[in-house]
């Protein structure tokens, strides 16, 4: 058993499957003219007849768990179970490029790999957003281990690890240490929260790996784990360095972009006035102004501590007056100004309060969306055809009503899906990326409560709709954001990151030896 190279040594899978299903097993040997077809129900052979045709074996399973209703209740919905089957077939397609696969589901051909003889071509089939030119070959070998496959350029990533496929001696594994080593190979070129596409094959002496430590065989144990992880990291890093000439990074000089981004922005008040969250009353002189002042002439190139980094302090007497008007039970705090186009500054009874403007706005939008229950859509001027993986397209179809509540609507044309509207609170750019994040969250249905999953979906939308770090607010807009946050007494953003921190007066006194 030590030099085991197959995926199993008992051949035991057909027997337990046959015991809980209705099965038909048909087989014809290449040395015989006739084969045999067996009908099996609950583990018992109920019929046998001769069979003619082409050589090979076919196993057909019907009514899985029909005779064990208690276990059948643990099955997920048909769409979820179907998606899991699709993901398993995707791994087979990548792992065995010498075998042709035809995968049909509900009488529709999902994958047909005939003519696709390379892993790269098959990856492009499974991940439609990729092309073969996005892929960097990985090839590293020594006497103990061989690592081969491909990874994507640092600018071709996704927001989760579902695009990382690692195989040990041909067996798919899902092991954090290996994924982490793969990502470490990118060094600083991989942005936080982004993950590459990869298909890596680790070929190693079977006596140096234990494949029997996980019930689903999804994890393995190496005799020298540290050595394997280091070789994976080095192999990926070497590939990235060799492929560095394949992509460029565009540097925007400050003198060419002193007024911030030119993309379309929304007034904060407009976000609250969108359908479903129009209960907020903004009676301020800046109601019809743009949130982002593109006419600002200050730049960061003059000095690290430019004048506009620290803007418009509220006089102390005014702050004291506003504090006296605080209702009981509400933390005493008064607005001071804005620093670095990312932090609001306020004075509280505990000390100096710093607030992340993006996290604060994100949480306020999240609470408003949560109260509204349904997000109104905005029609796209140019509808977008989705180019998603098959499992994600299936999820769009299966979760159409939920996505509609979130403001996404679609037209379906045979096997094409056209996105015709997005949530009204969102910017158009990045809408498809947000949709993919939402589809990833939907995968958790069945593992978390529906309410929790729906909150995660709202959080993804709120994050994309909120003002961004570096967006310039005028003082009136910043103060309204601060007052709204204070009124709701919110502490963390929807993703759990802190919104604010306090620099206590006693800490300042201690620092300055007072």
Dihedrals phi, psi of 105, to nearest 5 degrees: -140, 130
Q: Give residue limits of the domains in the chain.
A: 14-109, 119-243, 264-514
Cβ burial 125-143 (10 Å sphere, 16+ → b, else e): bbbeebeeebbbebebeee
The beta-carbon contacts of 103-106 under 8 Å, at least 24 apart in sequence, are: 106/82
For the beta carbon of residue 465, count every other beta carbon within 10 angstroms: 23
CA angle 184, 185, 186 (to 5 degrees): 90
Closest CA to 47 of 20, 12, 23: 23
- Give pLDDT tens digits for 23-59: 999 999 988 889 999 999 999 999 999 998 888 888 8
Q: Does domain 264-514 have CATH number 3.30.1370.100?
A: yes
> Token pair for residue 238?
């070497």
pLDDT digits (tens, 9 = 90+) for 54-103: 888 888 999 989 999 888 888 888 888 888 899 999 999 999 988 999 99
Report if pTM > 0.85. Answer: no
Helical H segments across 36-107, by residue range: 69-72, 78-95
Highest mean predicted confidence (pLDDT) among 6-10, 17-21, 242-246 = 17-21
Question: Is 446 in contact with 76 (CB distance < 8 Å)?
Answer: yes
Quick one: pLDDT band at residue 111, thresholds 50, 70, 90?
Answer: very high
E strand or H helix at 420, and its extent?
Answer: strand 416-423
pLDDT score at 81: 85
Q: What is the CATH number of domain 14-109?
A: 3.30.565.10
Evaluated on CA atoms 256, 258, 259, 265, the torsion sign reads positive
Architecture of domain 119-243: 2-Layer Sandwich (3.30)
- What are the tens digits of pLDDT across the range 398-451? 888 888 888 899 998 877 889 999 988 877 877 888 888 888 777 766 555 667
């Amino acid at each position: 058993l030590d030099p085991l190279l197959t995926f199993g040594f008992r051949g035991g899978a057909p027997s337990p499957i046959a015991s809980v299903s209705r099965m038909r097993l048909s087989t014809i040997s290449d040395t015989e003219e006739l084969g045999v077809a067996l009908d099996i129900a609950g583990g018992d052979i109920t019929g046998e007849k001769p069979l003619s045709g082409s050589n090979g074996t076919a196993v057909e399973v019907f009514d899985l768990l029909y005779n064990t209703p208690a276990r059948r209740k643990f099955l997920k919905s048909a769409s979820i179970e179907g998606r899991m089957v699709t993901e398993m077939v995707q791994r087979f397609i990548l792992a065995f490029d010498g075998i042709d696969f035809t995968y049909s589901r509900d009488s529709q051909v999902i994958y047909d790999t005939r003519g696709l003889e390379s892993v790269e071509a098959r990856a492009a089939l499974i991940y439609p957003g990729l092309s073969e030119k996005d892929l960097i070959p990985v090839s590293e070998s020594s006497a103990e281990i061989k690592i081969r496959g491909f990874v994507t350029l640092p600018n071709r990533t996704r927001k989760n690890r579902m695009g990382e496929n690692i195989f040990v001696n041909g067996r798919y594994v899902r092991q954090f240490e290996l994924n982490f080593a793969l990502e470490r190979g990118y060094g600083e070129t991989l942005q936080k929260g982004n993950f590459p596409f990869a298909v890596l094959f680790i070929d190693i002496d079977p006596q140096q790996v234990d494949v029997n430590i996980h019930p689903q065989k999804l994890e393995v144990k190496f005799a020298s784990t540290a050595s394997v992880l280091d070789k994976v990291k080095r192999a990926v890093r070497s590939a990235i360095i060799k492929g560095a000439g394949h992509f460029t990074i565009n540097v925007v000089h400050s003198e060419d972009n002193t007024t911030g981004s030119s993309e379309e922005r929304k007034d904060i008040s407009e976000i609250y006035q969108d359908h479903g969250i129009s209960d907020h009353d903004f009676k301020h002189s800046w109601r019809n102004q743009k949130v982002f002042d593109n006419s600002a002439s200050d730049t960061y190139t003059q000095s690290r501590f430019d004048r506009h980094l620290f803007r418009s302090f509220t006089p102390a007497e005014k702050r004291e007056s506003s504090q006296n008007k605080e209702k009981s039970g509400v933390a005493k705090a008064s607005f001071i100004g804005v620093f670095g186009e990312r932090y609001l500054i306020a004075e509280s009874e505990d000390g100096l309060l710093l607030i992340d403007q993006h996290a604060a706005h994100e949480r306020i939008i999240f609470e408003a969306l949560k109260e509204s229950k349904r997000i109104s859509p905005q029609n796209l001027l140019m509808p977008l055809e989705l180019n998603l993986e098959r499992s994600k397209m299936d999820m769009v179809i299966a979760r159409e009503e939920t996505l509609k509540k979130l403001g996404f609507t679609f037209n379906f044309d045979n096997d094409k899906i056209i996105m015709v509207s997005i949530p009204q609170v969102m910017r158009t750019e990045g809408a498809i990326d947000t949709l993919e994040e939402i589809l990833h969250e939907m995968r958790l249905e069945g593992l978390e409560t529906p309410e929790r999953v729906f909150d995660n979906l709202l959080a993804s939308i709120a994050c994309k709709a909120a003002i961004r770090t570096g967006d310039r607010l005028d003082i009136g807009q910043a103060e309204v954001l601060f007052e709204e946050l204070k009124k709701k007494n919110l502490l963390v953003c929807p993703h759990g990151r802190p919104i604010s921190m306090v620099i206590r007066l006693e800490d300042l006194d201690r620092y300055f030896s007072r």
